[in-house]
Every structure is written in structure tokens, then in C-alpha cells.
Amino acid sequence: MKTTNVRDVAVETLLQIEKNQAYSHLLLNSMIKKHKVNEKDIALLTEIVYGSLQRRITLDYFLAGFLKKAKKVEPWVQILLRISIYQMVYLDRVPERAILFEAVEIAKHRGHKGIASLVNGVLRSVQREGIPDVEKISDPVERLSIKTSHPQWLVEKWMNQFGLEETEKMCETNLLPPTQTARVNQMKLTVDELLLDLNNKGIMAEPGDLAEDGIKGSKGNLALTDAFSEGLLTIQDESSMLVARALDPQREEKVLDACAAPGGKSTHIAERMNGTGIVHSLDLHEHKVKLINQQADRLDLQNIQAEAFDSRKVLERFEKASFDRILVDAPCSGFGVIRRKPDIKYTKTQDDVLKLAELQHKILQEVAPLLKGGGVLVYSTCTIDQEENGDVIETFLENNPEFVRNDAVKELLPEKLARYLSNGEVQILPHYFGTDGFYIACLRKKG
Ligand SMILES: C[S@@+](CC[C@H](N)C(=O)[O-])C[C@H]1O[C@@H](n2cnc3c(N)ncnc32)[C@H](O)[C@@H]1O
């Protein structure tokens, strides 16, 4: 594949993400397959797609001054200009001459000569005049929004929740590529044994930064290793690995995972139980249940029973007080995983947050009676939004006085986390440890 086409595939991918609100990671994978993008070009394509998506607001701000005289351009032209400016500003290794040439070629073949000359004109002006200095924007919300490409409403919301300094650090971290991490299947081997095995095979990996089950890989895709196919590891973010630790399932217990697909935490729970007992893994969507089963098969776990079921109706399916432990890893806005899914910051709205909080509350309320007295309930999300996290737990505890916060959870979680843990709950922000942003609350039922 010629490099020109890589940029064209980038334009097509970004156009579809915008038009169909498709998830960037899923769409990019299918475009790579469809256009048979070779190994060498995948890195550049990924960088251009993610980079220009991550910095969309910033790039549009850079472009606005140069597009002033042009009438509103078509979406594909805007995207072509964005990816070109992205490469000019953020990618040192691509010569500007090549960027301009290829942008003009794409404009010619997708549009006509007039558009090609507009694209050429805009990019040449950027080259000549340089981009505006975002640090000069005086309003702090607007400056942070444009500098780190997060919508203003989100920056404002986070500033109210965390203050300017934390919000700034978080927004900057959201622009960084995520570290590749995996969870070691400790039913089969230890972290040290797996690291030795990987390093012997030339795969560079080292212990994780936060979770005791975690490793991080520097080069190559851990999902393509023999260790992955042999069920020795599972791709998972380190903050996510803390959830099963907080739940602390014991051998032979009966556990409910109310929102389980694709099965990252169910399989961890099942591993922690050493393949004994039973984990009932529910998910609303039939097609996602298949993903849980695939992971359980790969890891050779016999103690997971996955089924499609709406957790808002579990009382029709299970008996009250029949579970030792329950996990609600709830559907959420995903504001903690913006590094991986940048489209989230442009598509999710405050209305979504409110609807999600309602759903989260309904699920928690429904599963609560299923827990035995003395049992543990863990609620987690991959968001950093107070309304979906602390507020949901606060309301749940008000409505369910038989539940209390389980501060003992701090003994189960890494020492490093202690300063962020209080009253059995922790909000991890992405810049604390370079992990996803995550919320975990651990509760106990009296009795
Ligand atoms: C955050 S994801 C779970 C991730 C999973 N625990 C893991 O670690 O791989 C939330 C899941 O909840 C599911 N979900 C949404 N509404 C649900 C409902 N009413 N009942 C059961 N599952 C639901 C979604 O399909 C989604 O797969």
C-alpha cells in the first residue's frame, strides 16, 4: 500500500467515526483489514487517526483562522486538513513537503481541482504563518478545552469536581497513548515466571506499576503472543485488575457479576477462585455473552456461567440472599478511558451521564437483595464522573441502610493507592499511575 493511501484510509476512517458515531478502535481494526494495510503502515495510520481524533478541537482551532474566508467546507475536507495539520505540528518524522503533496493528491481524487487548491492554500498559509499560541487564551476553561481538546462543558464540570490543577493534569494525560498491560493468570504461573518466559522469547515486558497481577509490555502486541493463546495472560488495564482484588472472592463461593461482558473481571474473579465455585456472569447483550465464553475457554475456566440477562430483573432469576459476593461493573460514560477511546469526549453528553446514573442505580438496587448477610458488594466504573460514582453510592446507601462502606478493602489493594482510598472507595485519575481512570466502592451487607 502506498503512503498516499494510508492518509486516504485515515480520512475514510475518521469520516465514518463522525458520521456513524462508530467506536474508533473497532472501526480502525476493520479498516486495516478491509484495505489490507501492511504492518509498517499500521503504526502511521493508527497514529494519524488517534492523534487527530484526540486533538480534534485543537486542530479545528488552528484551522479556523486560515479557513475564515472559505465557505463551510465539507466534512471530508475538514478531516483532510485536520490530519495534515496534525502531522505538521505533532509528527516530526514526516517531511512537510510530503504532507502537503499527499493532501493535495487526496483532495484532487476525492473532490476536484478547486478543493485541491483550497487545501494547498490553507496548508501553505499554516506553513508560512505558523499556528496560534493557545497559551494566550485568557479564559482558563476555554484555554484548557482548546489546548487539550476536551469540550468546554466537560472541562468546566471536572474543574468544579477536581479543581484546575488536577483537571489540567488529567486532560494532558488523556492525550498520551496508553501503556500496554496484561494480567497474569496466577492459576497457571507467577508474574516472575511469565516475565521470564516472555523475555526468553524476545518479548520485552516488566512488572506493572500498580496491580500485583499486572505486567506491562513495551514493544509488540501482547495479545498476539503464545502466552495469550495459551491462557497465561489477559489484556487488561491495571486499574481494572484491582476490582477482583477488592471483591476478594474465596474458593467454592457463589459470585454474581451483573454486567460482565467482555469478561475481563469475571475471568479474573474465576481465576482468584482457582476454578472452583461459580461465577454467574450476566450481560444484557447476547452477542457480548459470546465474548465472555471465548475468554473463559481460552483461560480454561470451568467455573463461569455466562448468560444474556437484564440485571434490572435479576430478582426474577435468582433467589434472595443467595450470593456470597456481587460485582456491579456498571455501564458508564467511560470518561476514564479517553486515552483509548477519544471519541467518547465528543459524543457523550451530560444527558447521557444522568441517564447512566439512573441505570446504575437501578441495577444496584435490584441486585442488592441477592447478597447474603455479611456478603460483599463492589461497584465499579471506568469513569471519573462524581454523578456516576460517589453520588450513586451515596444514594444507594441512603436507600439501603443494611449496607455499610467496607473500609477493610484497603488491606486488599496496593499500598500506593492508600492515599486515595477512604471509606472503602477510591477514585483513580489517569495521571496518578498512568492507568485508566477508575472508580471502585466496596460495601458490605450487615449480618
Ligand atoms: C463496563 S462494561 C463491563 C465490563 C466487564 N465487567 C469487564 O470487565 O470486561 C458494562 C457492561 O454492562 C452491560 N449492560 C448494560 N446494561 C445492562 C443491564 N441492564 N444488565 C446487564 N448488563 C448490562 C453492557 O452490555 C456492558 O457490556
CATH number at residue 223: 3.30.70.1170
3-class secondary-structure state, position 404: strand
Tell me, yes or no, whether 124 and 141 share the same domain.
no
Residue 222 C-alpha to ligand 1 middle, in angstroms?
24
Residue 312 bridge partners (DSSP): none
* Domain shared by 87 and 163, yes or no: no
- What one-letter code names the amino acid at 43? A
Residues 290 and 187 in one domain: no
Ligand 1 site, residue 235, Cβ cutoff 6 A: no
User: Is 351 in the same domain as 223?
Assistant: no
Smallest CA separation from ligand 1 atom 10, residue: 331
Query: Do 280 and 354 lie in a common domain?
Result: yes
- Tell me how far apart the alpha carbons of residues 336 and 346 are, in angstroms, rounded to a whole number: 14
383 in contact with ligand 1, CB cutoff 6 A:
no
Residue where one domain finishes, among candidates 188, 210, 235:
235
Parent domain of 193: 180-235
331 lines ligand 1 (CB under 6 A): yes
> Are both 374 and 258 inside the same structural domain?
yes
Question: Where residue 359 sits, what CATH number does that domain have?
Answer: 3.40.50.150
Judge whether 391 is annotated as a binding position: no
Count other Cβ atoms within 10 Å, centred on residue 307.
Answer: 14
Element (H, E) at 377: strand 371-381
Contacts of 67 (CB under 8 A, 6+ apart): 73, 81, 122
Q: Same domain for 427 and 344?
A: yes
Same domain, 224 and 336: no
Residue 181 and residue 214 in contact, taking contact as beta carbons nearer than 8 Å:
yes
CA–CA distance from 346 to each of 140, 151, 358 (Å)? 20, 7, 22
The CATH number given to whatever domain includes residue 124 is 1.10.940.10
Residues 325, 303 share a domain: yes
Q: Choose among 354, 362, 406, 402: nearest CA to 259.
A: 362
* One-character DSSP codes across 209-238: SS-TTEEEESSS-GGGSHHHHTTSEEE--H
Q: Whose CA is nearest to atom 12 of ligand 1?
A: 259
Q: How many domains does the chain have?
A: 4
Residues 111, 254 within the same domain: no
Cα–ligand 1 centroid distance for 293 (angstroms): 15
Same domain, 85 and 230: no
What number does the ligand 1 atom closest to the CA of 262 have?
9
> Does the CB atom of residue 261 touch ligand 1 within 6 A?
yes
Task: Transcribe 19-84 into DSSP letters.
Answer: HH---HHHHHHHHHHHTT--HHHHHHHHHHHHHHHHTHHHHHHHHHHHHTTSPPPPHHHHHHHHHH
Residue 143, judged by CB atoms within 10 A of its CB (0-12, 13-18, 19+), counts as middle
By annotation, the residues acting in catalysis are 382
Is the dihedral angle over the CA atoms 126, 130, 131, 137 positive or is it negative?
A: negative
Q: What is the pLDDT along the chain (447 residues), one digit of tens a residue?
A: 444 589 999 999 999 988 887 677 778 888 888 888 888 888 899 999 999 999 999 999 999 989 876 668 999 999 999 999 999 999 988 899 999 999 999 999 999 888 999 999 999 999 999 999 999 999 999 999 999 999 999 999 999 999 999 999 999 999 999 999 999 999 999 999 999 999 999 999 999 999 999 999 977 789 989 999 999 999 999 999 999 999 999 999 999 999 999 999 999 999 999 999 999 999 999 999 999 999 999 999 999 999 999 999 999 999 999 999 999 999 999 999 999 999 999 999 999 999 999 999 999 999 999 999 999 999 999 999 999 999 999 999 999 999 999 999 999 999 999 999 999 999 999 999 999 999 999 999 998
**Is 259 marked as a binding-site residue?**
yes
Same domain, 318 and 353: yes
